[in-house]
C-alpha cells in the first residue's frame, strides 16, 4: 500500500500545478442507443484505443485487471485463464460482447476471458457496471464488458503495418503482427499473435503457456447507407492447468482449448430508423487431462446467436426507441458431460427520452423464453438528472442467469468418479433484483468523479458446495469415501457495495501530458442459509485498480497498480493458498523512435516480486522483466 499511496501523492501534487486539457463528453455504445455517459443513468467506463495500448500486459485479461470496477481472478499468466468478476458476483455473471454480439462460452464461464481479438484492432472498451439484462439478456448481472473493433470509415486512404516483438524472463517470446487497409468505403484488418512462455516454477513442473491467435475483420459501406461487417478468428491455447479446478496434490493437469469465431453485422441507416442484423458463432474444443495416463475430458461446444433490432428516432422528447429479437442456441458433445442442446429466445424494447430539461429516462423491458426456466419478464429503468456539472443517477432492474453445461453435467457421463465437482441437471436459474444510486461530477478542470452505491438481492444463486456422499442426489457413479462438491442453488444471497472512480487528463507542460484513472470497489455478500461455497467466498471485498500514463513526444511511462483484500483460504495439502491481501505494480517505459513510428520499451510485471494466488494452488509468477520493440508503418493518401 505504501508504494501505491506514494504514487497517488506525487501525481496529485503534479496535477495541482498543471494546466488543463478538455475531457470531451463521450458517446457510449453499451446501451445500444448511442448517448453521452452522463445521460445513461449508469456507471460506465470507456477506454480508448490509445489508453489500452499503453497499459502493461501480455494478454487482454492482464490489461483489464487494472481497470476500475473489474476484478480479474487469474489462474495463470499470459492468457492461460482468468475469471471476470464485477460487483461481487461470480464470473458467470459478467457478459462479454464483441461489437454487440454476446460471446459467453456455454461450456463454462472460465473461458469467457478467451476473447478472440488482438489489442491492436480494438477501438475502445466499454465497461457497464451492474445489471443490463433488459437489453442484453442472460448473464448481464454483475456487468458487461463490450469490446468494440468496428471503426468509422476514413476520409483518406490509409495503410498500416504493425509489429510488436517482446522477449523476457520465464522464457517469454511474444510476437504480434498486423496490417490494415482502409478508405471511405472499405476497411480490412489482418493480424496474428504468438505468445509462449515456460512459466513460473510449480509443483514438479513449470506453468507453461502457449497461445496463438489469428484473426481478420472486413467492413464495407454500400449505396443507400448499407454497411456490412465480417470478422473471424482462430484461437489456440495450451497451458499447464495444475490446480486450476482442484486442490488435489495428484493434480498435474494440462489443458488445450481451441476455438474459432465468426461474426456478421449488417446495418442500414436512414434519417428516421436504423436497422441491424447481428450474427455470431463460436466453436470450441476443450481437452483437459488431469494427470498423465488419465483419460482426457474431451468437450466440444457450439454457440450460435442472432440479434435483429431497429432503432427509431422520434421527435417526441428527443426519444429513441429500440426493439429487437434475440436468439441463441448452445450445443455440447462431451465424453464427460454428455450430449446436450439448449435454446433461448428473447424480445426486448427500450425507450430513451428527455421529458424535462436535464432529466433523461431509459425504460427497458424484455420477455425471454428459455429451455430451462421457460418464460421470464425483465424490466429495467435508468434515470439521470443533470444540474450544471453534476449528474445524479439511479437504476433498478432484474437479472437472470442459467447454469452452464459444466454446472449441470460435470462428471455426469463418467462410469466412476472418485472425487471432484459433480454437476446438477436440476439447477434452477439465478434471478436477481438490482438497485443502484450514484452521482457523476464533471468539474471545470478535466477530472471526472463517479460514485455509486449498489444492492443486489439474488435467489437461487448457483455455486459449488462440499457435499457428503449420502446427500448427493445421484450416487450411481460415486464412491462412499469420495470428496465431492455439488453444483447447488444457494437460497438467497444479498450483495451490497460502493464504487468510487476518478479519472483525469492534464497538460503539465507544453511537452508533458498525464492521463490517469483510479477506482475503489468495496463489496459484501451474505448468504441467507450460511452455506460455504467455492466462488462466493473467493471474490475480493476491496479492490483498488489504477493506471497512470505520462507521455511526451519522445517517451512514455505507464504505471498500473492493483490492490485486493479478501478472505484468506488455505488447505493442508497445498503450500500456495489464496492471499488475504496483496498489491501489484506493473510498469512500462517506452522510448519513441522514427518520429513515433517505432519504440523500444522495458516492461516489468509484479515489480516488487509479490508471491500471490487468486485460487488455491494456482501460483502466479513473481517479478517478470521483458523488453521489446514496436514498429508502426503507415501511409495516408487523399481519396
Pairing of strands 320-334, 338-356: antiparallel
Q: Is 387 exposed, middle or buried (0-12, 13-18, 19+ CB in 10 A)?
A: exposed
Residue in 247, 340, 220, 263 with CA at minimum distance from that of residue 98:
263
**Tally of CB atoms within 10 A around 45:** 22
pLDDT at position 6: 52
Fold observed for domain 2-638: Maltoporin; Chain A (2.40.170)
CA dist 631 → 122, 190, 192, 403 (Å): 18, 16, 15, 45
Q: Percent of the chain having pLDDT more than 90?
A: 72
pLDDT at position 39: 84
For residue range 381-424, what is the model confidence (pLDDT) as tens digits?
999 999 988 999 999 999 999 999 999 999 999 999 999 999 99
For residue range 36-45, what is the model confidence (pLDDT) as tens digits?
777 888 888 8
**Tally of CB atoms within 10 A around 234:** 15
Q: What is the mean pLDDT of residues 128-156?
A: 88
Half-sphere exposure of 261 (CA within 13 A, CB side): 27
Q: Is 595 exposed, middle or buried (0-12, 13-18, 19+ CB in 10 A)?
A: exposed
More confident residue, 289 or 529: 289
For residue range 306-325, what is the model confidence (pLDDT) as tens digits?
999 999 999 887 899 999 99
d(CA 4, CA 7): 5
pLDDT at position 35: 57
Q: What is the mean pLDDT of residues 242-262?
A: 93
CA dist 538 → 5, 407, 535 (Å): 26, 17, 5
Contact in structure between 365 and 349 (CB atoms under 8 Å): yes
The pLDDT confidence band at residue 526, using thresholds 50, 70 and 90, is: confident
pLDDT at position 578: 81
pLDDT at position 12: 45
For residue range 148-193, what is the model confidence (pLDDT) as tens digits?
998 777 777 889 999 999 999 999 999 999 999 998 899 999 999 9
For residue range 551-584, what is the model confidence (pLDDT) as tens digits?
999 999 999 999 999 888 888 777 777 878 999 9
pLDDT at position 537: 77
Q: What is the mean pLDDT of residues 534-544?
A: 87
Residue in 187, 183, 135 with CA at minimum distance from that of residue 28:
135
Position 478 pLDDT exceeds 60: yes
Contact in structure between 65 and 138 (CB atoms under 8 Å): no
Strand spans (E) along 49-87: 71-76, 81-85
For residue range 617-638, what is the model confidence (pLDDT) as tens digits?
899 999 999 999 999 998 875 4
d(CA 447, CA 15): 10
pLDDT at position 534: 80
Position 499 pLDDT exceeds 90: yes
pTM (predicted TM-score): 0.93
Residue 126 grid cell? 466499454
Contact in structure between 517 and 503 (CB atoms under 8 Å): yes
Residue in 44, 41, 217 with CA at minimum distance from that of residue 120:
217
d(CA 176, CA 114): 17
Contact in structure between 501 and 449 (CB atoms under 8 Å): yes
Position 8 pLDDT exceeds 60: no
pLDDT at position 637: 56
The pLDDT confidence band at residue 448, using thresholds 50, 70 and 90, is: confident
pLDDT at position 2: 54
pLDDT at position 384: 95
pLDDT at position 47: 87
Range with lowest mean pLDDT among 153-162, 219-228, 602-611: 153-162
Amino acid at each position: 500500500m505504501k508504494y501505491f499511496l506514494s504514487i497517488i501523492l506525487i501525481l496529485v501534487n503534479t496535477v495541482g500545478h498543471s494546466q488543463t486539457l478538455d475531457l470531451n463528453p463521450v458517446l457510449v455504445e453499451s446501451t445500444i442507443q448511442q448517448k453521452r455517459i452522463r445521460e445513461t443513468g449508469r456507471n460506465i467506463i470507456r477506454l480508448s484505443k490509445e489508453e489500452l495500448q499503453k497499459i502493461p500486459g501480455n494478454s487482454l485479461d492482464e490489461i483489464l485487471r487494472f481497470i476500475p470496477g473489474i476484478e480479474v481472478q487469474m489462474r495463470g499468466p499470459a492468457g492461460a485463464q482468468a475469471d471476470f468478476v464485477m460487483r461481487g458476483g461470480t464470473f458467470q455473471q459478467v457478459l462479454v460482447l464483441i461489437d454487440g454480439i454476446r460471446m459467453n462460452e456455454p461450456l463454462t464461464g472460465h473461458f469467457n476471458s478467451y476473447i478472440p481479438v488482438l489489442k491492436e484492432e480494438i477501438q475502445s472498451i466499454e465497461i457497464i457496471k451492474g445489471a443490463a439484462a433488459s437489453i442484453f439478456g442472460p448473464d448481464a448481472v454483475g456487468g458487461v464488458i463490450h469490446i468494440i473493433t468496428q471503426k468509422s470509415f476514413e476520409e483518406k486512404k490509409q495503410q498500416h503495418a504493425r509489429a510488436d516483438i517482446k522477449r523476457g524472463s520465464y522464457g517469454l517470446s511474444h510476437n504480434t503482427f498486423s496490417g490494415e487497409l482502409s478508405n471511405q468505403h472499405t476497411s480490412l484488418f489482418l493480424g496474428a499473435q504468438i505468445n509462449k512462455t515456460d512459466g513460473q516454477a510449480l509443483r514438479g513442473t513449470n506453468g507453461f503457456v502457449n497461445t496463438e491467435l489469428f484473426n481478420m475483420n472486413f467492413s464495407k459501406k454500400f449505396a443507400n447507407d448499407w454497411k456490412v461487417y465480417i470478422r473471424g478468428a482462430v484461437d489456440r491455447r495450451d497451458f499447464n492447468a495444475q490446480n486450476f479446478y482442484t486442490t488435489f496434490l495428484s493434480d498435474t493437469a494440462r489443458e488445450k482449448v481451441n476455438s474459432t469465431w465468426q461474426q456478421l453485422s449488417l446495418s442500414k441507416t436512414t434519417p428516421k430508423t436504423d436497422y441491424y442484423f447481428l450474427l455470431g458463432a463460436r466453436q470450441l474444443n476443450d481437452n483437459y487431462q488431469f494427470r498423465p495416463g488419465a483419460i482426457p475430458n474431451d468437450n466440444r461446444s457450439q454457440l450460435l446467436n442472432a440479434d435483429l433490432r431497429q432503432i427509431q428516432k422520434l421527435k417526441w422528447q428527443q426519444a429513441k426507441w429500440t426493439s429487437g429479437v434475440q436468439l441463441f442456441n448452445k450445443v455440447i458433445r462431451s465424453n464427460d458431460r454428455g450430449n446436450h442442446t439448449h435454446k433461448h429466445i428473447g424480445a426486448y424494447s427500450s425507450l430513451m427520452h428527455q421529458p424535462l430539461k436535464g432529466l433523461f429516462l431509459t425504460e427497458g423491458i424484455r420477455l425471454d423464453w428459455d429451455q430451462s426456466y421457460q418464460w421470464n419478464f425483465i424490466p429495467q429503468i435508468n434515470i439521470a438528472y443533470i444540474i450544471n456539472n453534476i449528474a445524479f443517477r439511479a437504476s433498478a432492474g432484474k437479472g437472470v442467469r442459467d447454469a452452464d453445461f459444466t454446472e449441470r453435467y460435470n462428471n455426469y457421463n463418467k462410469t466412476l468418479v472418485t472425487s471432484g465437482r459433480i454437476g446438477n441437471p436440476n439447477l434452477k436459474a439465478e434471478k436477481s433484483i438490482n438497485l443502484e444510486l450514484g452521482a457523476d461530477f464533471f468539474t471545470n478542470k478535466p477530472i471526472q468523479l463517479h460514485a455509486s452505491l449498489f444492492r443486489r438481492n439474488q435467489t437461487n444463486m448457483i455455486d459449488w458446495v462440499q457435499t457428503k456422499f449420502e446427500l448427493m442426489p445421484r450416487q450411481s457413479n460415486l464412491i462412499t469415501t469420495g470428496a465431492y462438491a455439488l453444483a447447488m442453488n444457494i437460497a438467497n444471497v444479498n450483495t451490497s457495495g460502493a464504487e468510487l472512480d476518478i479519472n483525469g487528463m492534464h497538460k503539465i507542460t507544453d511537452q508533458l501530458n498525464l492521463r490517469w484513472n483510479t477506482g475503489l470497489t468495496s463489496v459484501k455478500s451474505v448468504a441467507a442459509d450460511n452455506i460455504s461455497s467455492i466462488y462466493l467466498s473467493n471474490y475480493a471485498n476491496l479492490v483498488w485498480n489504477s493506471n497512470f500514463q505520462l507521455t511526451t513526444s519522445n517517451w512514455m511511462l505507464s504505471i498500473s497498480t492493483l490492490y485486493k483484500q479478501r478472505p484468506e483460504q488455505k488447505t493442508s495439502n497445498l503450500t500456495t493458498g489464496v492471499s488475504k491481501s496483496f498489491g501489484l505494480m506493473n510498469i512500462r517505459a517506452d522510448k519513441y523512435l522514427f518520429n513515433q513510428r517505432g519504440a523500444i520499451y522495458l516492461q516489468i510485471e509484479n515489480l516488487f516480486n509479490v508471491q500471490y494466488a487468486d485460487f488455491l494452488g494456482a501460483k502466479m509468477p513473481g517479478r517478470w522483466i521483458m523488453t521489446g520493440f514496436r514498429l508502426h508503418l503507415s501511409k495516408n493518401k487523399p481519396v
